[in-house]
Homo-oligomer: A and B are copies of this chain.
Amino acid sequence: MTRARPYDRDAALEAAMGLFWRNGYHATSLKDLEAALSMKPGSIYAAFTSKEALFLLALERYFERGRDAFRTKMAHAVSPLDALAGHLRDLASEDFSDAGQCACMLVKTLLNAAPEDVVIRGAAQDYLDALREDMADVFERAIMRNELPRGTDTARLARLYQADVIQLRIEAQRGVAGAELAALAEDMSQRLIGLRADVFTA
């Protein structure tokens, strides 16, 4: 090595993620990336091979960050069911001031990807599936702790739960006011907590 890298790879990826999240893959031009990453086109291609490869790295970053945040939140919780409900309520009070970064980047990518963007579409699907499996694991733990009846179909519950998570972010993107968003999260939480009552009444 005769010359140190003057660019910060982590910061560049972070900036790229923000841009792709806000504008989507196709609507983000290389000019936008040049400005956001403070890199010239040649440098971007030297560092990340292609726009698509850069997008995939940004998407992976988004996924890992979300998954890690979810996992640590669940790991510290005493009651899995309460933690899941709390996660919904937390979502409603997130910072949604940037209209472009409300909806989940994975969902935006999935709905946005053109039929020919097979790789990108596949990555978004895989990440969403991985997150749903993490959710199913938490429901599994809820069974272990007798918060849910044994034999509960955790895969189905996880699908319903993920639907709520995704939808909260979409409602935020719709510009729903904070109070209404909180009310929606509360309704969703109640549906979740309602599952626990069944154990006691059974």
A interface residues with partner B (beta carbon < 8 Å):
22-24, 26-27, 99-100, 103, 107-108, 110-112, 114-115, 125, 128, 156, 159-160, 163-164, 166-167, 170-171, 173-175, 180, 183-184, 187-188, 191
Instruction: Tell me whether B175 and A160 are in contact (CB under 8 A).
Output: no
State in angstroms the CA–CA spacing of A22 and B108 once bound together.
14
Instruction: Tell me whether A22 and B170 are in contact (CB under 8 A).
Output: no
State in angstroms the CA–CA spacing of A88 and B107 once bound together.
21
**A149 vs chain B, min Cβ distance (A):** 15
If A110-B173, A111-B112, A160-B188 are given as contacts, then 17 extra A-B residue pairs at C-beta distance below 8 Å, sorted by A number, are A23-B114, A24-B112, A24-B114, A27-B114, A100-B115, A107-B111, A107-B170, A110-B174, A111-B170, A128-B174, A156-B187, A159-B171, A159-B184, A163-B164, A163-B167, A166-B167, A191-B191
**A188 vs chain B, min Cβ distance (A):** 7
| Number of identical monomers bound together in the oligomeric complex | 2
User: A112 contacts which of B112, B115, B166, B183 (Cβ < 8 Å)?
Assistant: B112
A/B interface sample: 19 pairs, CB < 8 A: A23-B115, A24-B112, A24-B114, A26-B27, A99-B115, A100-B115, A107-B111, A108-B111, A108-B112, A110-B170, A110-B173, A111-B111, A111-B173, A125-B175, A156-B183, A159-B184, A163-B163, A163-B167, A163-B171
> Which residue of chain B has its CB nearest to the CB of A153?
B183
**A103 vs chain B, min Cβ distance (A):** 5
